[in-house]
């Protein structure tokens, strides 16, 4: 079995800005399990544990969808929280830019994977980068205030030319993500 997910990885140029943003939010003292900056990505589909012999079918289904999808650009817009800013459980950075082609590709991937026995997400697609998960109520109100005070992010847009199927290995120190397959966009 391989624990895996499909994602859009981020350019290295974005990671220092994400680290600075996490650093600002860490000052609140909130009890948050922060995602390692090198592991931050845009998840398109979390498969969980998949038999080794199903990986090729997942890659092939993704290739058929991405062959029709031209590269596009995304841009970090603002920090926020799920379910809301007053009661944060997941701290994230929202994404804007070419969100229509992104959403279309996401829904086509969901249909392709459903055929393979991986049902679609039960909630609306909301493109975001998870920065951390709140573990307890300690200083959560300070985190809420810090999130509300953050200005919109003025980071440059970044190109999306590929999606990646990652293997996720759980360790006591955190998850280790290893690319299994890079799947280019717009390659017929």
Which residues form the catalytic set?
41, 128
Helix axis angle for 99-115 and 55-66, nearest 10°, is: 140
C-alpha span between 153 and 95 (Å, rounded): 10
How many whole angstroms separate alpha carbon 8 and alpha carbon 102? 10
DSSP assignment of 142-166, as one string? HHHHHHHHPPPP-PPPEEE-EEEEE
3-state class (DSSP) for residue 30: coil
User: How long a stretch of residues is the chain?
Assistant: 188
């Amino acid at each position: 079995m391989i624990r895996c997910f499909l994602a859009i990885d981020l350019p290295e140029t974005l990671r220092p800005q994400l680290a600075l943003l996490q650093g600002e939010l860490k000052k609140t003292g909130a009890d948050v399990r922060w995602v390692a900056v090198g592991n931050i990505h845009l998840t398109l589909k979390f498969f969980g544990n998949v038999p080794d012999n199903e990986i090729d079918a997942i890659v092939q289904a993704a290739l058929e969808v991405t062959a029709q999808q031209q590269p596009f650009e995304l841009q970090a817009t603002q920090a926020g929280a799920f379910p809301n800013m007053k009661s944060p459980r997941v701290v994230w950075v929202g994404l804007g830019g070419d969100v229509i082609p992104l959403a279309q590709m996401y829904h086509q991937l969901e249909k392709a994977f459903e055929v393979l026995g991986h049902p679609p997400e039960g909630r609306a697609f909301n493109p975001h980068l998870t920065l951390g998960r709140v573990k307890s109520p300690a200083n959560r109100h300070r985190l809420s205030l810090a999130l509300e005070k953050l200005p919109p992010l003025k980071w440059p847009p970044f190109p999306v030319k590929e999606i990646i199927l990652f293997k996720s290995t759980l360790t006591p120190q955190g998850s280790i993500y290893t690319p299994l397959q890079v799947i280019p966009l717009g390659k017929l």
